[in-house]
Amino acid sequence: MTDAQQTSVPHNESTDLKDVENQTKRKKLLKIFAVIIVIVAIIYMLWHFLFNRSVSTDNAYVGAETAEITSMVSGQVEKVLVSDTQTVKKGDILAIIDHRDAKIALAQAQAELAKAQRQYTQSSANSSALNSQILISDDDIRSAEAQVAQAQVALQQAQQEFERRKALSASGAISKEEFTKSQSALNNAQASLDVAKAGVAQAESKRKAAQSNLDANEALIKGASQQSTPDVLMAQAKVEQALLDLQRTEIKAPLDGVVARRTVQVGQRVAPGASLMKLIPLSELYVDANFKESQLKNVKVGQKVELTSDLYGKDVKYHGTVVGFSGGTGSAFALIPAQNATGNWIKVVQRLPVRIQLDKKQLQEHPLRVGLSMEAEVDTSTAK
């Protein structure tokens, strides 16, 4: 055996020993790693089932109850005083509609009101005139009745004279001519009595007509003043409507916010209900967080929520409160809802929007915009 062969044997033996030691170390490391994994898994399971008191989602977006600015009257747009992204305060004028037609309508309504008020005054005066007519009619009736009495006396005298001359005519004491005259006088007296009675009836008819007119006139004004009669009230309502239409030619902001989606232009003719722009109330923003249905078991109204926005990152944390749950999942309210009754159905975990109200002070310090992405974590241990 040569020297080279003698030296190679120990070298191979040392290599094998090193391999065995490396394999032993590797097995020990694998066992240690496996133990660590098992411990971590146990710790995670214990934390998840015993100590985890929150649910989170990154499927959340900022929303707001936007104000739709519409025209309440028709007309041509005279001025537009705001533009998109402009911040306005409640009561600021956003646009002006030509108010000349509204002014004319107001003048007409005011004229109708004045006319109705004068008609009430005239009706009141008519009552006094009709009362006077009734008094005059009473005098006419008494005069006619006196004439009737006078005619009756005259008739009695004519009747007596006729009877006396009739007896004399039978004995031939008077001529036929005198007898005929007495008969004519009797007929005239009877006719005068009939005329007098007709005069009484006519005077009574006039009184009844005047009384009817008075009753009708009193029915219009009885229990009412000049400002409370139906005609005046109707005319007053038209004046108020015309005044309101005139005020509505100035379209004002109903709340503080930012102008968005302005579509109205100067010179455009708008109709009542036409959408002109939107107003976003940045101080009244909320978040709709879409949680999986499996996460909602312990989520309750009133629980505290911690949120972060992609706009500011993790450094800015918002605090909110769960204020409600949507009436249905997003797919239920989709334009074309899923038809799970078909044969090729695959179960998909649904998400339910949860409404979260944000803190107004934090919104002032770090403003958000509608549609921005948020991450929300609900603390389920704060359930009420």
Domain ranges of the chain: 67-99+248-280, 102-243
Q: What CATH fold (topology level) applies to the domain 67-99+248-280? A: OB fold (Dihydrolipoamide Acetyltransferase, E2P) (2.40.50)
Task: Report the pLDDT averaged over residues 35-63.
Answer: 80
Task: Report the pLDDT averaged over residues 165-177.
Answer: 69
> Which value, in Å, is the radius of gyration of the alpha carbons in the chain?
53
Indicate whether 50 pLDDT > 60. no
Between CA 115 and CA 235 the distance in angstroms is: 9
Reported as a single tens digit per residue, the pLDDT across 336-374 is 777 777 667 778 888 999 999 999 899 989 999 999 999
Between CA 118 and CA 103 the distance in angstroms is: 23
| CB-based contact 358:372 (threshold 8 Å) | no
Reported as a single tens digit per residue, the pLDDT across 293-320 is 989 988 999 999 999 999 999 989 999 9
Task: Report the pLDDT averaged over residues 123-151.
Answer: 73
Class of residue 66 by CB neighbours under 10 A (exposed 0-12, middle 13-18, buried 19+): middle
| Phi-psi map region of 267: left, alpha, beta (phi>0 left; psi -120 to 50 alpha) | left
For the full predicted model, state whether its pTM sits above 0.85.
no
Cα angle vertex 212, ends 207, 217, to 5°?
125
Indicate whether 110 pLDDT > 80. yes
Residue with the bigger pLDDT between 10 and 296: it is 296
Between CA 296 and CA 90 the distance in angstroms is: 38
Task: Report the pLDDT averaged over residues 139-146.
Answer: 77
Reported as a single tens digit per residue, the pLDDT across 244-263 is 999 999 999 999 999 999 99
- Reported for 234-239, long-range contacts at CB under 8 A and 24+ positions apart, including other chains, are 234/116, 235/109, 235/112, 235/113, 235/115, 235/116, 235/117, 236/113, 238/109, 238/112, 238/113, 239/106, 239/109, 239/110, 239/112, 239/113
Between CA 55 and CA 190 the distance in angstroms is: 117
Q: Which residue has the tokens 């028709």?
A: 74
Q: Check residue 336 and give its pLDDT.
A: 77
| CB-based contact 295:57 (threshold 8 Å) | yes
Q: Check residue 192 and give its pLDDT.
A: 80
Reported as a single tens digit per residue, the pLDDT across 217-248 is 666 566 565 566 777 889 999 999 999 999 99
pLDDT averaged over every residue in the chain: 82
Residue with the bigger pLDDT between 48 and 379: it is 379
